[in-house]
């Protein structure tokens, strides 16, 4: 019960801080149309998480990572990815060719969905922990990133110069390929560095449940995890 209360407080804190930053991001953004396009995934994600909170509650690690990714989107939406002040300073100080904040965004677009996809597959599918699961997770992350690139392409074609800030290539003809590479790198790093911690986060979240469903471990033996999302 104590762990449940701590989790509930964490989730509430993440929600409140997200809403505060959402309000900040929409106040005098660089471009309102670009702001909507950049922040829409975060707002859609909030609706999905709220709608599924009671039925399928994620681990605390997943919620924290989702919050971090949402903040990246809100900051990028406020300034546009090509004009984030800190990364303008980094560009000018180190004589870089461009503002690299969008690279951070695409790295996160692999890093965070990798943990989400891994958790959903472990809890809702028969896949074991191991190489095949990792391959599927990486494929999902690349599919998400490719879909986002197609959306950027479609918006740019439909709106012309109005969608340039959303496209954010900054004159780099290989921008799309680099974005996808960073997504892949982010997903790989997430799986390599966080898988064990993620397993622990799932188990800790399951400790306050009334009932549990099995998650199949690497050795084929079931490990305890929650069913129905209670206590996460």
Q: Are strands 222-226 and 212-216 parallel, antiparallel or unpaired?
A: antiparallel
Q: Report DSSP state, residue 216.
A: E
Buried b or exposed e, range 33-47, using 16+ CB within 10 angstroms: ebbebbbebbeebbe
pLDDT given for residue 23 in this prediction: 97
pLDDT given at position 192: 97
Name the DSSP class of 183: H
**What is the model's pLDDT at position 159?**
73
What's the pTM value of the predicted model, to 2 decimals? 0.84
Give per-10-residue mean pLDDT for the chain (232 aa).
81 97 96 91 96 94 98 95 93 91 94 97 92 96 91 77 57 79 97 96 72 44 42 36
Task: For residues 104 and 81, give the distance between their C-alpha atoms in angstroms, rounded to a whole number.
Answer: 10
SS3 of residue 229 by DSSP = coil
Alpha-carbon span 97 to 94, nearest angstrom = 9
**Rounded Cα gap, residues 204 and 206, in angstroms:** 5
Tell me the backbone φ, ψ of residue 83, rounded to 5 degrees.
-130, 20
Supply the pLDDT for residue 232.
36
Angle at 141 between CA 135 and CA 143, to 5 degrees: 100
**Vertex 196 angle, CA 194 and 198, to 5°:** 65
- The structure tokens listed for 21 are 């930053």
pLDDT at residue 222, as a whole number? 41
pLDDT of residue 211: 39
Report the C-alpha gap between 216 and 222 in whole angstroms: 4
Count other C-beta atoms under 10 Å from residue 157's C-beta. Answer: 10
The answer for residues whose C-beta is within 8 angstroms of residue 121's C-beta and 6 or more apart is 127, 133, 136, 137
Helix H or strand E encompassing 223: strand 222-226
Picking from 21, 14, 31, 17, the residue whose alpha carbon sits closest to that of residue 65 is 14
Cβ contact 191:16 at 8 Å:
no
**How confident is the model at residue 220, as a pLDDT?**
40
Neighbour count for residue 52 (Cβ, 10 Å) = 12
- Residue 162 has a pLDDT of 54
Distance CA 140, CA 77 (A): 25
CB 121 within 8 Å of CB 137: yes
Tell me the domain boundaries of the chain. Answer: 2-226
């Amino acid at each position: 019960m104590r762990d449940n209360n701590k989790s509930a407080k964490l989730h509430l804190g993440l929600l409140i801080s997200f809403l505060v930053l959402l309000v900040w991001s929409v106040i005098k953004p660089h471009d309102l149309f670009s702001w909507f396009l950049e922040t829409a995934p975060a707002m859609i994600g909030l609706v999905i998480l709220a709608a599924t909170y009671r039925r399928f509650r994620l681990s605390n690690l997943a919620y924290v990572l989702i919050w971090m990714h949402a903040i990246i989107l809100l900051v990028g939406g406020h300034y546009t990815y090509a004009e984030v002040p800190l990364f303008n300073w980094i560009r000018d100080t180190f004589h870089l060719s461009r503002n690299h904040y969008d690279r951070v965004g695409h790295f996160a677009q692999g890093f965070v969905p990798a943990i989400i996809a891994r958790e959903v597959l472990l809890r809702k599918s028969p896949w074991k922990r191991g190489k095949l699961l990792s391959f599927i997770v990486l494929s999902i992350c690349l599919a998400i990133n490719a879909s986002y690139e197609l959306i950027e392409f479609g918006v740019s074609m439909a709106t012309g110069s109005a969608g340039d800030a959303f496209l954010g290539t900054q004159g780099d003809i290989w921008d799309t390929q680099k974005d996808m590479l960073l997504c892949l790198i982010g997903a790989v790093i997430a799986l390599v560095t966080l898988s064990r911690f993620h397993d622990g986060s799932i188990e800790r979240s399951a400790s306050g449940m009334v009932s549990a469903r099995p998650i199949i471990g690497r050795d084929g033996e079931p490990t305890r995890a929650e069913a129905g999302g209670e206590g996460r």
